Amino acid sequence: MGKMKCITMASLLIFSLVVINIHHVVHGDTNITVTFLESAISKGAVCLDGSAPAYSYVEGYGNGSHSWIVYLVGGGWCNHISDCRARSNSRLGSSHLMASQTTFSGILDLNCTSNPDFCNWHKVFIYYCDGSSFMSDIEHSHSKTNLTFRGARIFNVMMDEMLAKGMRNAQSAILTGTSAGGLATILHCDKFRKLFSDEIRVKCISDSGFFIHGKGHHGYKNREKFFGDVIKTHKLVKSLPPTCTSKRKSSLCFFPEYLVEDIQTPLFVLESAFDRFQLSSLVLEATNCTNNLKSCNPTELGIMRDFRTTFIKTLERRIHNSPNRGLFVHSCYLHDHVLKSDEWTCLTLANRTMRQAVADWYFDRSSFREIDTKSDSPKNCTNSFCQ
């Protein structure tokens, strides 16, 4: 049980650094007002505390005026009512408490020098305040805490809002997200695709969202219990893909390894084989090792190497070698990439940066399926990739 508590508290602490503003978004000298979607409240599409969901939006222009990127923020999950109640008193459960400023960077960067393929696209940044990867939809609020579990409704009203803004006229579209938002990207990918006609290029990019079950690997029973508790708390069984729940128990249907084979929409997976969040919160206890690789003992390093082996085998087995599937899997001890400018523009595999690999795959210029199989230990990549 101590480990499960560690997971949820780590979610609040680590991912609060990623979740961003609700009053203004800042890019250079440009302040971008954030919209609180008050009209969503009457539809029951609300955060855990009942507050309105929110998004940031930048209008596209030029040859990007008919192209859209929708980004889903990450931030872990809550797996018990007490955990969700604590979360409702944070920026991850209430739009009233979200940070006041942020920057658009990485794949959302407005600078056409550093982000030439996507700089002038319409960009939508959807804040995360439901704790279920935008999947929950419980009709009535919790009787004792008055919490509301409505992540799926938030996703739906945000899509309606963007379609009304012009996304219905898109010629190109991307759904992406990081961590819990990367998992949400996988879970909502085909649903997002159905918003557009067949001739429109629509693809999904999951960043650090491939959380593995890894049956038989260290901690797998705890991982299964944790996500099973998320599913139980948010009553997600009816919302999970029937292509998964018809084959296996529902507690496994939050793990992408049991979902990706049935996804029809093109999907690119960005990952570290030594994903920092998975190793520090879902595999190992939070120790000096998970905070400082130099402190790892041989046993801990062995667990990390075993995780890497299991992770790569899972990806290779579940993500088929197809032009509709992209892989960029490195060995840095990191978690989340697409909004980090250095990683997006300079982290390299097979002589292509992450930005180049994703763009080439998205625009059908070339396929990309690369896994760093040479490094059997996590790399401490704390310095700038662009130096």
Q: List active site positions.
A: 179, 275, 335
Tokens of 375: 């490094």
Q: Round to whole Å and give the CA distance between 202 and 115.
A: 19
Q: Which two tokens stand for residue 153?
A: 């409704």
The first and second tokens of residue 65, run together, are 């005026």
Residue 321 · residue 362 · CB < 8 Å: no
| Pairing outcome for strands 54-58 and 35-36 | antiparallel
Are residues 69 and 122 in contact, defined by beta-carbon separation less than 8 angstroms?
yes
| Tokens standing for residue 280 | 């520090």
3-state SS record for the chain: CHHHHHHHHHHHHHHCCCCCCCCEEEECCEEEECEECHHHHHHCCCCCCCCCCEEEEECCCHHHCCEEEEEECCCCCCCCHHHHHHHCCCCCCCHHHCCCCCECCHHHCCCCCCCCCCCCCEEEEECCCCCCCCCCCCCCCCCCCCCCCCHHHHHHHHHHHHHHHCHHHCCEEEEEEECHHHHHHHHHHHHHHCCCCCCCEEEEEEECCCCCCCCCCCCHHHHHHHHHHHHHHCCCHHHCCHHHHCCCCHHHCCCHHHCHHHCCCCEEEEEECCCHHHHHHHHCCCCHHHHCHHHCCHHHHHHHHHHHHHHHHHHHHHCCCCCCEEEEEECECCCCCCCCHHHHHHCEECCEEHHHHHHHHHCCCCCCEEECCCCCCCECCCCCCCC
Classify residue 225 as exposed, middle or buried by CB count within 10 Å of its CB (0-12, 13-18, 19+): middle
